[in-house]
Amino acid sequence: MAKREYLKPTTLHEAVEILAAAPGRRIVAGGTDLMVYIREGKEAPAALVDVTAIPELNGVQKLGDGALAVGAAMTHSMIGSDPDIRAVAPVLSDASSSVGAVQIRNLATIGGNVVNGAVAADTLSALAVLDAAFLTFGPEGEKRYTIEEFFLAPGKTAVGVGEVLTKILIPAQPGASHAFIKVARRRAAAISRLAVSVIANPDGGYARIAVGAVLPKPGRITPAEEALKEGFDLAAAKAAGEAAKAHVLSISGERPSMVYKLPVVSSAVEKAVIKALSLREVK
Amino acid sequence: MSSLEKVVGVDGDRRDTLSKVTGRERFSGDYKVPGALALAIARSTEAHALIKNIDSSKAQALPWVVRVFTARDVPGENSYGIIPITKDQPMLAEGKVRFKGEAVALVAAETLEAAREAAALIRVDYEPLKASFTPEEALADGADKIHEKGNLCFEHDSLMGDPDKAFAEAAVVVEDTYTTSSIEHSYMEPESGFAVMEDDIVAVTVSTQNPHYDHADLCRLLGLENDKVRVKQATTGGGFGGKLDLSVHSYVALATLLTGRPSRLTYTREESFAASAKRHSFTMKYRTAADAEGNLLAVDAELIADTGAYASYGVAVAMRAAVHAAGPYMVPNSRVYSRAVYTNHVFSGAMRGFGVPQVALAHESQMEKIAAKLGIDPIELRLKNALKPGDKTITGQVLGDSVGIRECLEKIKAVRDGWGAAADDPDCFRGIGVGAMLYGIGNTGVSNPSTAQIRVNEAGGVTLYTGCADIGQGSDHALLAICAETLGLSREDIALVRADTKLTTNAGATSASRQTYISGNAVKDASEKFMAKAIEETAKITGKDIADLCFTGTGVKGAEREVTLTEIAESLKEQGNELIGEGYFDPETVPLDHHTGQGKPYSTYGFAAQLTRVHVDKATAEVKVEKLFAVHDIGKAIYPQGVIGQISGGSAMGVGLALMEEFDHASDKNFDTYLIPTVLDVPDVEASFIEHAEPTGPYGAKGVGEPALIPTAPAIVNAISDAVGVRITSLPANLERVHRALQLMGGK
Ligand SMILES: Cc1cc2nc3c(=O)[nH]c(=O)nc-3n(C[C@H](O)[C@H](O)[C@H](O)COP(=O)(O)OP(=O)(O)OC[C@H]3O[C@@H](n4cnc5c(N)ncnc54)[C@H](O)[C@@H]3O)c2cc1C
């Protein structure tokens, strides 16, 4: 492996300056995506700029309205065990806890997961149902993106060269119940074949459903949400599953991997809804 | 320190436990080798092609590059292979390449970076040939020949009784076709080794399962006499059969011989995946007949294995699969036709079980189908047909006394009844499944002896010399136990010299579950001869009667004072003799007849049965193995903890075989996409054993290394079938296949 510079700024401004100072400099957090690409020869940054020591990127802040601002450099281990996140967004706690295995979760950050933007990235469906927003800081100052604005295509986000993702904003979810399901070929260190995130609030009359690993970019599945709102019961859960399946089919089409995935979208969405609403005990 | 305690059958810490858990143990790659050249290999980018030209000028011109080697530089015969009749593999491709990843040229450089950069600069002109990636393609008319002799590597026929008549008269006949996947061994330590010149001897220290075989083929490749090559086994981080073939050995030996400088090579994981043996994928067509009571009448099996580009252990795998095709059951009529076929995949070789885990899927699925047809409990059906002492196997071998399969089956039956029916769960289906097996200990129908020596050392104690490679399974511990027990010592009293071709003699391969049984016997023989010689000499020294003398471990007593081993050794030395016990054991076998496959392939067999309970998620088709109970007839547990360890690890490997492992030759480069079970995928294995002492075994022992794995996948597949009511006939039973089964069930 070629030798390259490794820089570790401790303020946001310093980071932005360093990134702009020379071409080919890349942000690194846990490195669990980037180092793999470098080893495979898919990326060859001139220098790595480690953003994990920047205070703004660390910790969870409670905002006035019960919302949370989650630092982009928080590792999946930290997110999985953070009591404030567990209280507001258990779907995210569970999603982060499903990433890789302990060793990976101790290094890998939510910011890296989000900016890397892989189709199968596990936090994305959770962030979609949470209606999360993204704060970045760069040469042009601070920017704020909705999830639709943020994810452009598989592996492509709105974060520009020289920009740092600083925080992920998670609105409060009063009275809602959550569920996250991940399906993979083994129980740890495996990429999702499918992930499902559900937030439902029968009293509030809303439901949010998103799936991971089967759509080009994260986003909610409105027809499934509508179907669930019909009754928040077992029949509605089933209908939500069917609607999600139809939606995925309309976007992703009949690829060979869909022979398995498509029917499972339907049954897994149904199961996630049942789990979220405790319509029956699900292990 | 004479030990009154027994050693055999008693637990205790292995010598390597502390050094391994603290990371102090040195593997080949951990040695400092001053002045060593770094090596890198340029590998074929084609699956099947003629080599028109190799241009290494750019590589050669790079700074720090010392030399580039191609087939032309191989001084001896550029062909090797572990089975004497199929030495068909070149160390560097000659004229053609037969798989993607085959070694074409070798670079030696002062730094690893330079060696790798140079290897990447070597340009090879290829003229592509038609590549075959399945046995069917390879055997089809018009397929390009992979080897001169054609694409059929080996075929084996076996016939007993009159199967046609039996099928015609049978009350039930079940048939199906089963397939299994190609599998990567996935040992933790990749292939690694180094070579140095010791005077005019090329000395290779390497991760290996078979130092004496390595030695012989290195002599052949390098064109050197036996005494000009030395192979030392370094601590080896797993093998599972994949370190029986030569790998880095020949490259470090060649570079060191031709440059006179030390050299070293460790495969990257990607190289290990691309260029090391795989488990043979099999297609198995089975027909099985039974009478109305469930007594098996006949088995007809056609087996075809993808042996890849080179034979490696293909012959042994195809033959062993055929011998074990009927499982641990009494079947009076049988016909088996087994083939190993060359393809343009990386070569398949030995992997834990040599084809038996594959046929076990088939025979154990067939048993379930018969049980279902006749409405007989699957364990009862197995009990009804289980082999007994004195029964004949399908090779016509009359079994001896150590046949514990019935007891294994009785045990799992009791355990199953104890488990009871699993609680109802709206989100999953649960099922219980059984797998049973027999496994011949040692090589199939050929002489495969082991030797060992005991000598007195400088300190006046004894040293055991064995050629047996401990690859992590614990043969050192087992052999020391046998030696200590026989000599009346404790394990700590015995020094060990192991697996070095200069200091030890051939113990054969650490494979075929053979070392405890075969090398264990050789060690016992050596120990007994050592004692006898010591007593005999003491009788001469003291004038006492042999009958009055007694071996104490440190000397011989019975005269006025104890005569020490050192004194005895001195006395013998003065006469030009030596105090030594030279042990030998070769299991009694009768080669298999070429036409009928009849003979006595092994002198003893291990037996086992395993029981699993699985949980199949209705929504996602994920399978979780909730419980696994294993019971193995191992003859005698020399080291009980080691036996349990083997069964637990083997079962974990069996979970991989059953549920997820499938080597995709086109896309699997490393563990990113090639998935093996994690600790979360493996249940707590309840491992146990029974001891049907083998009269010819050391203290009654047989073997367990491979049997550990064999019943697991069939038990899991049978449990899935019990859960969902649809049989999966192709491994692995992955998400897609289980989901398909769920859909089929829904359609019923
Ligand atoms: C063995 C293994 C298992 C894995 N399993 C899973 C899994 O189960 N689920 C899953 O979703 N992922 C998995 N991954 C992928 C990876 O671990 C995650 O995507 C992880 O969250 C990436 O975070 P990181 O901090 O390591 O990112 P890095 O590799 O450091 O960065 C990834 C990308 O994001 C950019 N980046 C990082 N932080 C910022 C920032 N603050 N601002 C702007 N750009 C930034 C980097 O420049 C780079 O382009 C696995 C990876 C491995 C190696």
Measured CA to CA, the distance from residue B703 to residue B712 in angstroms comes to 17
Q: Could you tell me the two tokens for B426? A: 């709206």
User: pTM score, two decimals?
Assistant: 0.97
- Closest residue by Cα to residue B656 from B671, B673, B643, B675: B675
Ligand 1 centroid, distance to A113 Cα (angstroms) = 4
Residues in the ligand 1 pocket, defined by CB under 6 Å: A 26-34, 36, 51, 57, 72, 99-100, 104, 107-109, 111-113, 115-116, 121-122, 159, 164-165, 189, 191
B396 strand-pairing partners? none
Collect all residues of chain B within an 8 Å Cβ-Cβ radius of residue A268.
Answer: 619-620
Contact B681 A282 (CB under 8 A): no
Which residue type occupies B42?
A
Question: How far is residue B630 CA from its own chain's centroid?
Answer: 20
pLDDT of B3: 47
Output phi, psi for A138, to 5 deg: -155, -165
Nearest CA in chain A to B116: A1
Q: What is the pLDDT along chain A (283 residues), one digit of tens a residue?
A: 568 999 999 999 999 999 999 999 999 999 999 999 999 999 999 999 999 999 999 999 999 999 999 999 999 999 999 999 999 999 999 999 999 999 999 999 999 999 999 999 999 999 999 999 999 999 999 999 999 999 999 999 999 989 999 999 999 999 999 999 999 999 999 999 999 999 999 999 999 999 999 999 998 999 999 999 999 999 999 999 999 999 999 999 988 899 999 999 999 999 999 999 999 887 6
Q: Are B654 and B709 in contact (CB under 8 A)?
A: yes
- Nearest Cβ partner for B735 among A101, A185, A187: A185
pLDDT of B425: 86
Contact B619 A271 (CB under 8 A): yes
Cα atoms found within 13 Å of the Cα of residue A171, Cβ hemisphere only? 13
Cα atoms found within 13 Å of the Cα of residue B215, Cβ hemisphere only? 27
Round to the nearest angstrom and report the end-to-end CA distance of chain A. Answer: 45
Q: Whose CA is nearest to atom 3 of ligand 1?
A: A100
Interface of A with B (CB under 8 A): 36, 101, 181, 183, 185-190, 193-194, 259-260, 263-264, 267-268, 270-271, 280, 282-283
Measured CA to CA, the distance from residue B175 to residue A18 in angstroms comes to 70
Nearest CA in chain A to B678: A188
pLDDT of B420: 79
Q: Are B738 and B620 in contact (CB under 8 A)?
A: no
Collect all residues of chain A within an 8 Å Cβ-Cβ radius of residue B619.
Answer: 264, 267-268, 270-271
Measured CA to CA, the distance from residue B713 to residue B435 in angstroms comes to 8
Output phi, psi for A40, to 5 deg: -80, -5
Measured CA to CA, the distance from residue B440 to residue B517 in angstroms comes to 11
Ligand 1 centroid, distance to A50 Cα (angstroms) = 13
Give pLDDT tens digits for B709-735: 999 999 999 999 999 999 999 999 999
Give pLDDT tens digits for A101-146: 999 999 999 999 999 999 999 999 999 999 999 999 999 999 999 9
Furthest CA-CA distance within chain A = 60
Q: Could you tell me the two tokens for B401? A: 């006394």
- Nearest Cβ partner for B619 among A185, A188, A264: A264
Sign of CA dihedral B356, B361, B363, B367: positive
- ∠ CA A6-A7-A13 to the nearest 5 degrees? 155
pLDDT of B2: 45
Give the CATH number of domain A55-170; options: 3.40.50.620, 3.30.465.10, 3.30.450.70, 1.10.10.10. 3.30.465.10
Question: How far is residue A168 CA from its own chain's centroid?
Answer: 10
Measured CA to CA, the distance from residue B435 to residue B653 in angstroms comes to 15
Rg (CA), chain B: 27
Start-end ranges of CATH 3.90.1170.50 in chain B? 31-129+191-266
Q: Are B339 and B306 in contact (CB under 8 A)?
A: no
Q: Which fold has domain B31-129+191-266?
A: Aldehyde Oxidoreductase; domain 3 (3.90.1170)
Domain A5-50: give its CATH code: 3.30.43
Q: Are B697 and B635 in contact (CB under 8 A)?
A: yes
Q: Could you tell me the two tokens for B712? A: 């697991």
Measured CA to CA, the distance from residue B231 to residue B499 in angstroms comes to 8
pLDDT of B674: 98
pLDDT of A2: 65
- Closest residue by Cα to residue B151 from B167, B135, B129, B163: B135
Give the CATH number of domain B281-444+592-745; options: 2.40.40.20, 3.40.1190.20, 3.30.365.10, 3.60.15.10. 3.30.365.10
Q: Which residue has the tokens 């087994």?
A: B338
Contact B621 A260 (CB under 8 A): yes
Output phi, psi for B547, to 5 deg: -65, -25
Tell me if domain A5-50 and domain A177-277 are identical in fold.
no
pLDDT of A283: 67
pLDDT of A282: 76
DSSP state of A283: -
User: Which residues, in sequence order, are CB contacts of A98 under 8 Å at separation 6+?
Assistant: A122, A180, A182, A192, A195
Q: Could you tell me the two tokens for A64? A: 């006035």
Q: Whose CA is nearest to atom 49 of ligand 1?
A: A116
User: Which residues, in sequence order, are CB contacts of A235 under 8 Å at separation 6+?
Assistant: none
User: Which residues, in sequence order, are CB contacts of B617 under 8 Å at separation 6+?
Assistant: B427, B428, B623, B624
Give pLDDT tens digits for B467-482: 999 999 999 999 999 9
User: Which residues, in sequence order, are CB contacts of A186 under 8 Å at separation 6+?
Assistant: B660, B675, B677, B678, B680, B681
pLDDT of B44: 98
pLDDT over 90 percentage in chain A = 95
pLDDT of B748: 47
Output phi, psi for B204, to 5 deg: -110, 125
For chain A, the domains span: 5-50, 55-170, 177-277
Q: Could you tell me the two tokens for B229? A: 């090559």
- The residue ranges of chain B whose pLDDT is under 50 are 1-3, 748
Measured CA to CA, the distance from residue B676 to residue A190 in angstroms comes to 10
Measured CA to CA, the distance from residue A175 to residue B577 in angstroms comes to 91
pLDDT over 70 percentage in chain A = 99
Ligand 1 centroid, distance to A31 Cα (angstroms) = 6
Contact A260 B675 (CB under 8 A): no
Q: Does domain A177-277 have CATH number 3.40.50.300?
A: no
Please, what's the b/e burial string for B80-113 (b: 16 or more CB within 10 A of its CB; e: otherwise)?
bbbbeebbbbbbbbeebbbbbbbbbbbbbbbeee
Start-end ranges of CATH 3.30.365.10 in chain B? 17-24+449-585, 281-444+592-745
Per DSSP, chain B holds a count of helices (H) and strands (E) of 18, 28
Q: Which fold has domain B17-24+449-585?
A: Aldehyde Oxidoreductase; domain 4 (3.30.365)
Q: Whose CA is nearest to atom 28 of ligand 1?
A: A31
User: Which residues, in sequence order, are CB contacts of A12 under 8 Å at separation 6+?
Assistant: A54, A56, A57, A137, A164, A166
Burial label, B562 (beta-carbon count in 10 A; 0-12, 13-18, 19+): middle
B127 strand-pairing partners? B50
> Residue B230 to residues B87, B220, B227, B502: CA-CA distances in angstroms?
21, 13, 7, 6
Q: Is B14 helix (H, G, I), strand (E, B) or coil?
A: coil
Which residue type occupies A100?
G
